[in-house]
Amino acid sequence: MAVKVMIADDHSMIREGLKQLLELEGDFEVIAEACDGVDCLEKLKTVVPDILLLDINMPNMNGLEVLQKMKDMKMKVKVLVLTVHNEVEYLLKAVDIGVNGYLLKDSESAELKKAILAVVNGEDYIQPSLIPVLNSKMLDRDSDSSKIESLTRRELEVLKMLSYGTYNKEIAEHLNISERTVKNHVSNIFKKIGVTDRTQAAVFAIRNNLITI
């Protein structure tokens, strides 16, 4: 039985090209197409593909937003992101949300079919060239997690406030502690997270979603 595929991409030529490529040998059947994120979610209410090929750059709602909505709505459709983006930040975000596969659009047709079948059969499939960078980023994230866990509740409060550009005197007044105590907290924070100034501390806080900007 052919694998039922849905394609979500805002370029009609790409959708048509993928459809012809996949249906050439009869192993796959494209049962639906979507031209943007909103269209994609609407069609998923009436069709149930075995796998969704999802582009990231789409109007109205991008692919990562669609992925998050699908997770929130508890849709069980397998998703393979098919994108031009080789930046690991996009991949990390997709992995965090719960994507089943991530493949670049310049991949060979054989690899695309391999990725689709892997995902449909319950495996995860990540573009091989991106795996070393992904692993490195995940290790960095694990390292950051251990640093965050080493901070006390008060140190986390101080870190968040200084990351917003708050001066020591203002932090002291807000937390009802002495300015000297704030300085001690800042010094301990710098040592624990491995930074040397307030700017680096702010970057650390933003990278780990401790504050929003």
155 shares a domain with 91: no
The answer to the question of residue 28 being in a domain is yes
| Whole-number percent of the chain with pLDDT over 70 | 99
Task: Examine the pLDDT at 137 and tell me if it is beyond 80.
Answer: no
Rounded distance between C-alpha atoms, residue 204 and residue 211, angstroms:
10
200 shares a domain with 164: yes
10 shares a domain with 84: yes
Instruction: For residue 190, give the CATH number of its domain.
Output: 1.10.10.10
Rounded distance between C-alpha atoms, residue 126 and residue 55, angstroms:
15
pLDDT for 142 equals 67
Each residue's pLDDT tens digit, 88-123? 888 888 988 999 999 999 999 999 999 999 999 999
As for how many domains the chain has, the answer is 2
Q: Binning pLDDT at 50, 70 and 90, where does residue 213 land?
A: low
- CA 5, 58, 212, 101 dihedral sign is positive
Last residue of a domain, one of 101, 133, 165: 133
Rounded distance between C-alpha atoms, residue 179 and residue 168, angstroms:
6
123 shares a domain with 159: no
Each residue's pLDDT tens digit, 3-44? 999 999 999 999 999 999 999 988 999 999 999 999 999 999
Last residue of a domain, one of 91, 108, 133: 133
pLDDT for 74 equals 92
Amino acid (one-letter) located at 57: N
Residue 98 phi/psi, 5-degree rounding, is 120, 35
Task: Examine the pLDDT at 211 and tell me if it is beyond 70.
Answer: yes
| Whole-number percent of the chain with pLDDT over 90 | 72
Each residue's pLDDT tens digit, 69-85? 999 999 989 999 999 98
Residue 82 phi/psi, 5-degree rounding, is -120, 110
Rounded distance between C-alpha atoms, residue 60 and residue 91, angstroms:
21
98 shares a domain with 150: no
pLDDT for 71 equals 93
| Mean pLDDT rounded to a whole number for the chain | 92
- Structural domain boundaries, residue 167: 146-207
Q: Which residue has the tokens 């397998």?
A: 78
Instruction: For residue 101, give the CATH number of its domain.
Output: 3.40.50.2300
173 shares a domain with 76: no
